């Protein structure tokens, strides 16, 4: 229970289905000092004198209190678990990826390591049969008895992309109650139940850093290491300077620090030279990609296969041909050029609504 409307209604739906529900809040950080204390969290053990952080996340003191109030309203037991050391690893991953010129996705990592990883240890300790969350995705039982991870019913809220990394063996024990509903129905149900979070805004930002401040976090954690370099065009012309590659991600259009007279985008980030290459939209076009550290929620493929490939959380899936490569790697060739393929993000392969699996874009 994150203190949001989705996991709150999920608790109600589970009770309606006859489950004995235990509410759990994952305490991922320590309350920050100062006026933002109610809405921010800090991560041990590197939290001393860090820059202001927070935003519309899901791990602050106010969220914990919201979750506790909902548990009281649902008349279920509630526990807050200390996941600070594990969550510190996610922040380290986030910082390291930006320093490598890549675009991290901490939500996927959190889902794999914590929400559908470490949380199962606690479930086992209290002899719980299932772990349930408020994600907009569906765990469905196929006619042959296998469990499939599928898209949520609401296409605007579908979160199946961010769940590709979970262990396939966990699927029989995962429940995703809100995935079969549209978000408007979930909010309406929360209002009808008079839940205290019925009108609470959705969390849309990385929970451990305020919007627009990820570069400050990276610099603080990296110390005096400079990643400043040149802004160059795709044909090699130097058109400006920047103060750090952590400010940029492939596909970025705004805040490039240089006026080109027409829209330009980040095409490539080179951590070796600290050059940031910019170009027109057509320079972003990619016909294929490779990915590593693949994870499969269906039987791992032995040969090439057709799929719908999604390269970002908020991007549309596109038709592609994929094939496994040695060393838990994957090649994806798109039917049509695709824009904004970013190293560090995930490519997730679908068969219709079913998540087959994916990997981390190289």
Note whether 169 and 132 are same-domain residues.
yes
Is 349 considered catalytic here?
no
Same domain (yes/no): 34, 181: yes
CATH of the domain at 188: 3.40.50.620
Domain count, the chain: 3
Residues 175 and 47 in one domain: yes
Q: Are 222 and 41 in contact (CB under 8 A)?
A: no
Lowest mean pLDDT among 42-56, 81-95, 153-167, 303-317: 42-56
Residue 198 within a domain = no
* 51 and 159, same domain (yes or no): yes
Q: How confident is the model at residue 116 (pLDDT cuts 50, 70, 90)?
A: very high
> In the prediction, which pLDDT does 71 show?
96
SS3 state of residue 133: coil
Reported confidence tier of residue 209, pLDDT bands at 50, 70, 90: confident
Residue 209 domain-assigned (yes or no): no
Which range, of 52-61, 189-198, 223-232, 297-306, averages the lowest pLDDT?
Answer: 52-61
**What is the pLDDT averaged over residues 59-65?**
83
Residue 251 has pLDDT above 90, yes or no: yes
Contact 339, 286 (CB under 8 A): yes
Among 279, 298, 321, residue at a domain's last position: 279
pLDDT at residue 57 in the model? 53
Mean pLDDT score across all residues of the chain? 89
Mean pLDDT within 292-312: 97
For the cut 70, the answer to whether the pLDDT of residue 46 exceeds it is no
> Residue range 275-295: average pLDDT?
97
Residue 240 and residue 324 in one domain: no
- Confidence band of 214 (pLDDT split at 50, 70, 90): confident
Tell me what pLDDT residue 58 has.
60
Q: pTM for the complete prediction?
A: 0.89
Domain assignment present for 205: no
Determine whether 207 is an active site residue.
yes
Which of the residue ranges 38-47, 154-163, 239-248 would you say has the lowest mean pLDDT?
38-47
Domain boundary among the residues 132, 167, 192 is at: 192
Q: Residue 344 is part of which domain span?
A: 284-361
Q: What pLDDT score does 221 carry?
A: 86
The answer to whether residue 48 scores a pLDDT higher than 60 is no
With respect to residue 33, please indicate whether it lies within any of the assigned structural domains.
yes
Q: Given pLDDT bands bounded at 50, 70 and 90, which one contains residue 44?
A: very low
Asked if the model's pLDDT at residue 39 lies above 90, the reply is no
Mean pLDDT on 338-360: 97
Active-site option among 58, 110, 150, 307: 110
- Does 77 reside within a domain? yes
Kindly state whether residues 183 and 99 are assigned to the same domain: yes
| Domain-ending residue, one of 150, 170, 192 | 192
**What is the reported pLDDT for 205?**
66
Residues 164, 183, single domain; the answer is yes
Average pLDDT over residues 56-66: 76
Q: What is the CATH number of the domain that holds 274?
A: 2.30.30.280
pLDDT over 70, % of the chain:
91
Confidence of residue 212 (pLDDT cuts 50, 70, 90): confident
The arithmetic mean of pLDDT across residues 343-359, rounded, is 98
- 91 within domain boundaries: yes
Q: Residue 348 maps to which CATH number?
A: 2.40.30.10
Given the residues 41, 107, 150, 207, select the one marked as catalytic: 207
Q: Give the rounded percent of residues in the chain with a pLDDT score beyond 90.
A: 79
| Domain identity same for 108 and 247 | no
Same domain, 158 and 38: yes
Q: Is the pLDDT of residue 253 over 70?
A: yes
Above 70 in pLDDT, residue 126? yes
Asked whether residue 38 carries a pLDDT value surpassing 80, the answer given is: no
Q: Are residues 148 and 46 in the same domain?
A: yes
Residues 112 and 159 in one domain: yes
Residue 141 pLDDT? 95
211 occurs within a structural domain? no
Same domain, 26 and 169: yes
- Report yes or no: 24 and 1 within 8 Å, Cβ to Cβ: yes
In a domain, 217, yes or no: no
């Amino acid at each position: 229970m994150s203190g949001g409307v989705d996991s709150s209604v999920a608790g109600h739906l589970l009770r309606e289905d006859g489950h004995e529900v235990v509410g759990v809040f994952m305490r991922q950080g320590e309350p920050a000092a100062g006026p933002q204390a109610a809405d921010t969290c800090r991560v041990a053990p590197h939290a001393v004198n860090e820059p202001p952080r927070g935003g519309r996340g899901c791990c602050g003191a106010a969220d914990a209190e919201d979750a506790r109030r909902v548990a009281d309203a649902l008349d279920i037991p509630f526990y807050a678990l200390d996941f600070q050391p594990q969550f510190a690893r996610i922040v380290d991953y986030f910082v390291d990826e930006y320093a490598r010129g890549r675009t991290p996705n901490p939500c996927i990592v959190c889902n794999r390591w914590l929400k559908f990883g470490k949380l199962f240890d606690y479930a086992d300790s209290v002899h719980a049969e299932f772990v349930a969350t408020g994600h907009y995705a569906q765990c469905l039982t196929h006619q042959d008895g296998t469990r499939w991870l599928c898209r949520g019913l609401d296409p605007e809220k579908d979160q199946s992309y961010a769940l590709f990394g979970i262990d396939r063996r966990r699927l029989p024990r995962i429940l995703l109650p809100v995935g079969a509903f549209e978000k408007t129905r979930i909010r309406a149900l929360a209002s009808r139940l008079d839940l205290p979070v019925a009108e609470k805004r959705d969390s849309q930002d990385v929970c451990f850093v305020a919007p627009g401040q990820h570069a400050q976090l990276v610099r603080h954690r990296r110390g005096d290491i400079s990643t400043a370099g040149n802004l160059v065009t795709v044909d090699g012309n130097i058109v400006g300077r920047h103060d750090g590659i952590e400010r940029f991600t492939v596909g970025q259009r705004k805040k490039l620090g240089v006026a080109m007279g027409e829209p330009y985008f980040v095409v490539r980030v080179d951590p070796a030279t600290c050059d940031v290459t910019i170009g027109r939209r057509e320079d972003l076009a990619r016909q294929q990609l490779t990915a590593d550290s693949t994870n499969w929620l269906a039987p791992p493929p032995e040969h090439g296969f057709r799929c719908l490939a999604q390269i970002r959380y908020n991007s549309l899936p596109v038709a592609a041909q994929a094939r496994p490569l040695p060393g838990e790697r994957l090649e994806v060739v798109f039917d049509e050029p695709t824009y904004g393929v970013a190293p560090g993000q995930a490519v997730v392969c679908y068969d219709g609504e079913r998540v087959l699996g994916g990997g981390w874009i190289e």
